[in-house]
Structure 1
Amino acid sequence: MTQLVLGFLGGFEVALDAEPITAFETDKVRALLAFLAIESSHPHRRAKLSAMFWPELPEKKAAHNLSQSLLRLRRSLQEKKDATVPSFLVVSNQDVQFNTYSDYQLDVLRFRELLNLCHQHNHPDAANCDVCTQWRLQAAELYQGDLLAGFFIPDSVAFEEWRLVQQEELHRQALETLEWLAVYHEQRGEFDRVQTYARRQTVLEPWREEAHVQLMRALAQSGQPAAALRQYEQYQQILTEELGIKPGAEATAFYSQILSGELIQQAEPQPDARKTVWLSSEGEQRQVTALACGQIIQDEWGEVGECERTCQGIFNRFGGRRTPRQGEACLVYFGYPQAYEDAARRAVHAGLAVTTALENKGSVRIGIHTGLLAVGKQRGPSWQDR
C-alpha cells in the first residue's frame, strides 16, 4: 500500500513511499494539504475552504480555484482511480476531508498523541515515570521547529490566523516537554542531557529565563563555571537588544553565586532537583504583578479555546503564570512563582500584545495591579497563594 509521510514541524516536507514530493505547483496547494491533514477529524465545506484561501475573489471564481487546487493536489499525491487503494482525500460536491483511514504518517498528529498518552497514563509518580519519559523523548525528537516554519500565505488571513493558533499551541507544548526532560535529567545528575534540552528551549524562545537558568546550572555542575557565566551574558544581551529589559532575579542571583565562588558543585545527583525549579522561601513576601484578562468573543472568531490558546502563547512569552479560569476572566501572575524585577513591565507588554492579537476579534478587557504577595514552600507549579 502506498504510504504518505507528512512533516510540518519545522517546515513543509511530504514524501510518498520515501520519495519526496515537491511538485505542488502553488503554495496554496501546500497550505490546503496541511490544513486538511491537521484538521482531519471532520469534513470541511467547500464554500468555507474557498472563502479561506481566496477571500478576495467572487464566490464562483473562488470555488473554481478550489476545484483546480484539489485536482493539482490529487495529481501531486499520484492518486489513481483504484477502488482497492484508499484515497488520501475524500471529496464530494459539498465537502472535502483528509482520509484518516489511508496509509499516512503526520508528525503533528503523532506529537499530540504522545503527549496525550502521558496525560492519560496511570502512573504513581508522574515526575519519574520511565514510560512517559520515553513518550516525551519521542515527542521532542519529532518537534523540529515551529509549525510550517517559513510558510506564509499573504492573501489568506483566515489560514494565517489558523496557522498562528496551531503554531502557538504546539510551540508551548514543545517548550513544556523540553523543560520536563531537562528537569528529569537534572534530578539524575545527567547534566549533558540537561544542556541538550535547555539549549533547545533557548533556540525556540531565546528570552525564556527558566531555560537559561537550567543551562547555567547544568554548565556549572559540569565543572564549566566560565561557560555558565557566558550563558548569562548572552541571555542578558538578548533581553537588552530584543525587549529592553534585564534578566530576572533567579538568573542574576545564580550568576552572582558563580562569580563569588559560592556555588558548590554537586558530587551526586540531587534527589530533590525538581523542587528547585519552583521553590520559594517559606513565608516570603514578594512584589508580584497580576494581569486580569476578560474577553467576549465574536461568533466568527470561533471557539473560545482558540482565543485562549493565542493568549496563553503570549503569556508564556513574557513569563506569565496563569491560574485556573474564573468565569469569563483569567488571572496571570508575573513575578510568581518565578521572581522578575521587571514583572510590571512584562505584564504591560503582555497586555498590549493580547489586545493587538485579538483586535477586531471581540471585546477585550485588561486590568493590571502590582502588590505584595505571600508565597509558601510547596512543590510543583500548581501551588497556591496563602
Structure 2
Amino acid sequence: MSQLRIGLLGNFEVTTRDGAKVTPTGKQRVLLASLALRRGRTVSVEEITERLWGDGPPAASATTVRGHVKRLRQALVVDRADSVIQSIDGGYRLEVDREALDVCAFDLLVQRAAETDDPDAEAELLRTALNLWRGPALADVPCESLHREVVPALEEQRRQALHRRIELDLAAGRLAGLVAELHTVVAEDPLQERFWAQLMLALCRAGRPAEALTQYERCREVLAGQLGVDPGPRLRELHGRVLAEDPALIRARDRVEITVPRQLPSEVTPFVGRAQEIAALDGVLAERRGSGVVVVDGPAGSGKTALVTRWAHRVLGEFPDGQLYCDLGGFGPEAPTDPFTALGTLLLGMGTRDLPPCAGSRSAALRSAVAGRRVLLVLDNARDAEQVRPLLPGNGVLTVITSRNQLRALVAGGGARRITVEELAEEETAELLTALLGQDARELAAVATGLPFVVRLLAERADRLGDVPLAEFTAGMREDATRAAVVGEHQVSALLRWSCAAVPDDAVALLRLLGTRADSVGLCEAAELLGRSRAETDRMLDRLAEVHLVRVSGRGRITVPPLVRAFARTAMPPDRHSEM
C-alpha cells in the first residue's frame, strides 16, 4: 500500500512519502476527491464525468477522463510503485490505506472516542480528530455536486464531534479558553442553537451569568432575522434557568480552570530616570481606567521595553486577570512576527487549547478571551500599525505597544496615546554608568550617548578592560576613532541597520549624506545634498523621522543624532542591500 497522504478537510493537500507536495489542477482535484471519498470502491466513468462537468460534458468525455487519470497517475507515482489509481470495468478505484486520507482518519478517531469509557480520553481523541480540519471540507475543489451532496454531511460530522468534545470539557470543568472558542463557533455558524446553549452554560460556569443572558438575546435576534423563528425549547429552558439562578448551572465551577497569564519579562536593573514617562503611563491608566492603547516610541536602544516592563510591574494590582506579553520582532535579524502567529501566542497565554485556523477567527477569539477581564497586553518591538491592528483586543484591555516606529496610523485613526522616549539626560547617564561600574562615572557620561542600550555596552567594555583606569578609558572616548570603534561594534551597528531596513533606499541614501554634516541642516540644503526636489526630500526625511533616525524641528531644521551620524560615517555600507 502507498504512503500517499491526501487531505480533504480544508484546501486540497497531496503529500508523497518523502514529503513532496503534489499540486493537482482543478479537474484533477475533482477527480481525486471523487475517488478518495469512495476509497477502495469503484467510481464509474459516468459519475466522474458528472463531477467534472456537470450537465455539460464535452463530446469525448470518456477520452478526456482517461487523459486526466493518466496525468494524475503520473503525478502520484511513489518510488516506481504501481499506480494507486486502478482501472476497473467502466470506472476507477483509489487503492490507499485508510490512514492516508484525513477524512478516514477523522472517522476512525471519532469511532474510537465513542467506544471508550474514559471521558478524558474521549475528549482528547475528539480533540485530535478535530485538529485534522484545516478549514471547510473540499474548500478549493471546484465541484458543485460534491459541495451539494458530500460536504454538508462532512460538516455535520465535524459539528457533532465538536459539540461532544465541548460537552465533555464543560462536564469536566475545563473552561480555560472555552468561552473564547464558543464565541468563535457561534460567530461562524450562528444558526446552531446547540452551540449557543453551550456558550451560555460556559459563561454561567465561569461566573458570568449576565453575559449568558446577553448571548441568549443575540441568538434570538439572529434566529428571528435569518429564519423568522424563536429559539427552541432547550434554549428557552436554559434561559429560564439562568434567570432563576439555578445552582445546578454552576455545579462544575469548583473545577474551573481559569488561566491567569503572567508573561511580563523581568525588570532590567539598574534602572534610572524616566519619571516623566512613568507618570504619563500612570495618567493614561487613570484616565482610561485600564483600557485603550498606548504607543511608547523612541530611537533604537532608548530603553522602551525596559521602561514599559518597569512600569508594568509597578501596576500589577491593576490587572488581576493577567498580563500578556508578545515580542513582535519588528526590528531584528529575523522577519517580523506575523499577526496569525502572534495571535496564537496570545491565545495560548489565555489558556486557549484549540487555536482557530485563520487570523480573523483568532482575533475574534482573543477579544472573547479577554472580555470582562482586567488584562494588560504588552506588544513589544512592533514593526508598523498593520502588524499591530489585528492584535488589539478592543475595550476593556490596556494595550501598551513599544516601537521605533511612531505608529502614526494608530494615533491618528485609532485613538492611541503616544509617549516618546528620548535619550537619558547627562546626569541620568552618569547615574546609570556609576551603578553599572561601581565608581563615579560623571566624566564618562559627559562624552557618552544617552541611549541606555549603548550605555550598558559601554559599561561592559570599560569593565572588560579592567586594567585600563576609567579616566584613561574616558579620555579615549573623547577621540573620534574610539567612538567609531564603539559604534562599529556588532550589537550597535546591527541595532541601527535594523532601523534603516524599515525605510526606503532613497531615504537611507539621504541619511548617509546627512551623516557627513556636523551640524543641523535645513530642508533646502538637504535637497541640494541629495540632488532631489524639496518635496521628495521632505518625504524621505519624514520616513527617517518616523523611525527616529533623524529629528526634524518645527522650523524645518534636520538634526542627525550623534550615534546615528557616527554609524552613517563609519559603519553604514555603500550598498545597504549587501548587508540587509
Normalization by structure 1: what TM-score? 0.55
Cα deviation digits, residues 65-100 of structure 1 (max 9, x gap): 1022113323443x3792xx2423223674321122
Contact 1:29 1:69 in 2 (8 A): yes
Structure 1's 227 and 149: CA in aligned 2 closer, same or farther, altered over 3 A? Answer: farther
Alpha-carbon separation, structure 1, partners of 2:56 and 2:72: 21
Q: Give 1:65's aligned residue.
A: 64
- Deviation sequence 1:338-368 (CA, Å, 0-9, x none): xxxxxxxxxxxxxxxxxxxxxxxxxxxxxxx
| 2:140 pairs with 1:108 | no
Judged with a 3 Å threshold, the aligned counterparts in structure 2 of structure 1 residues 104 and 18 are, in CA distance, closer, same or farther, namely farther
Evaluate the alpha carbon distance shift between residue 240 and residue 147 of structure 1 in structure 2; reply closer, same or farther with a 3 A threshold.
same
SS of 1:191 mapped into structure 2: coil
- The structure whose Rg is larger is 2
8 A contact 1:219–1:225 mirrored in 2: yes
CA contact (8 A) 2:8 2:103 kept: yes
Q: Which amino acid aligns with 2:105?
A: R
Aligned partner (choices 80, 94, 97) of residue 98 of structure 1 = 94
- SS for the counterpart of 1:142 is coil
Which position in structure 1 is the counterpart of 2:7?
Answer: 7
Q: Which residue of 1 aligns with 2:157?
A: 173
Tell me, what secondary structure is at the counterpart of 2:212?
helix
Secondary structure in structure 2 of the residue aligned to 1:192: coil
Distance (whole Å) between structure 1 residues aligned to residue 55 and residue 203 of structure 2: 54
Q: CA deviation at 1:248?
A: 3.0
Is the CA contact (8 Å cut-off) linking 2:39 and 2:95 kept in structure 1? yes
User: How far 1:243 moved relative to its partner?
Assistant: 0.8
**AA at the equivalent of 1:66:** V
Residue in structure 1 matching 2:221, options 225, 229, 237 = 237
What displacement does 1:192 show? Answer: 2.8
Correspondence for 2:143 among 150, 153, 175: 153
Q: Cα RMSD over matched residues?
A: 3.5
1: CA distance, partners of 2:47 / 2:234: 49
Structure 2 Cα separation of the partners of residues 259 and 183 of structure 1:
22
Q: What SS does the aligned partner of 2:9 have?
A: coil
Tell me how far 1:35 sits from its aligned partner: 1.0
Pairing 1:223–2:207 present: yes
- The residue aligned with 1:21 is 22
* AA partner of residue 130 (structure 2): A
Change (3 A) 1:92 1:39: closer
Q: Superposed, which structure 2 residues align to 1:118-157 within 5 Å? A: 118-119=113-114, 121=115, 126=117, 128-149=118-139, 151-154=141-144
Q: CA deviation at 1:239?
A: 1.0
Higher relative contact order (CA 8 A, sep 6+): 1
Alpha-carbon distance change, 171 to 47 in structure 1, aligned in 2, over 3 angstroms: closer
* Residue 206 of structure 1: aligned partner: 190
TM-superposition CA deviations, 1:234-290 (whole Å, max 9, x none): 32232122112222344345445556766687375589xxxxxxxxxxxxxxxxxxx
Residue 38 of structure 1: how far off its partner (Å): 1.7
Structure 2 residue identity aligned to 1:28: K
Determine the structure 2 residue equivalent to 1:117: 112
Report the secondary structure of 1:66's partner residue.
Answer: helix
Flag the structure with higher strand content: 1
Deviation of 1:115 (Å): 2.0
Gaps of 5+ in 1: 155-159, 272-386
* Higher share in helix: 2
State TM-score, norm by structure 2: 0.38
Structure 2 counterpart of 1:91, one-letter code: S
SS of 2:93's equivalent in the other structure is: strand
Of 29-38 and 197-206, more deviation after overlay is shown by: 197-206
Amino acid at match of 2:160: E
Say which SS state the counterpart of residue 90 (structure 1) adopts.
Answer: strand
Worse-matched range after superposition: 175-184 or 253-262: 253-262
- Kindly state the Cα deviation for residue 33 of structure 1 after the two structures are TM-superposed: 0.6
Instruction: Out of 52-61 and 200-209, give the one that drifted further.
Output: 52-61
Give 3-state SS (helix, strand or coil) of 2:100's partner.
strand
Cα distance between partner residues in 1 of 2:131 and 2:59? 44
Distance verdict in 2 for CA 1:244–1:270, change over 3 Å: farther
Q: Counterpart in 2 of 1:248?
A: 232
Change over 3 Å in CA distance of 1:44–1:235 after alignment to 2: same
CA deviations 1:130-181 (Å, max 9, x no partner) are 4433322221222344321354435xxxxx1x54333222222222212211
The alpha-carbon deviation at position 34 of structure 1 amounts to 0.7
Q: How many residues end up aligned between the 2 structures?
A: 254
Q: Which amino acid aligns with 1:243?
A: L
Amino acid at match of 1:36: L
The within-5 A match list for 1:275-290 is none
Distance 1:264 1:56, change over 3 A: closer
1:140–1:58 CA distance, 2 compared to 1 (3 A) = closer
* CA–CA distance in structure 2, aligned partners of residues 261 and 80 of structure 1: 62
**2:388 alignment counterpart:** none
d(CA) in 2 for partners of 1:151, 1:264: 47
Aligned to 1:32: 31
Q: 1:108-145: per-residue Cα shift (whole Å, max 9, x none)? A: 010111223344x3x5xx4x444433322221222344
Unaligned 5+ segments in structure 2 are: 256-580
Asked whether the equivalents of residues 186 and 269 of structure 1 are also in contact (C-alpha less than 8 Å), the reply is no
Note if contact 2:34-2:48 (Cα within 8 Å) is conserved in structure 1: no
Residue identity in the other structure for 2:124: Q
Which aligned pairs between 1:181-196 and structure 2 lie closer than 5 A? Answer: 181-192=165-176, 194-195=178-179
Percent identity between matched residues is: 24
Equivalent position SS for 2:83? coil
Counterpart Cα distance in 2 of 1:266 and 1:191: 12
Instruction: Assess if the C-alpha contact under 8 Å between 2:183 and 2:199 holds in 1.
Output: yes
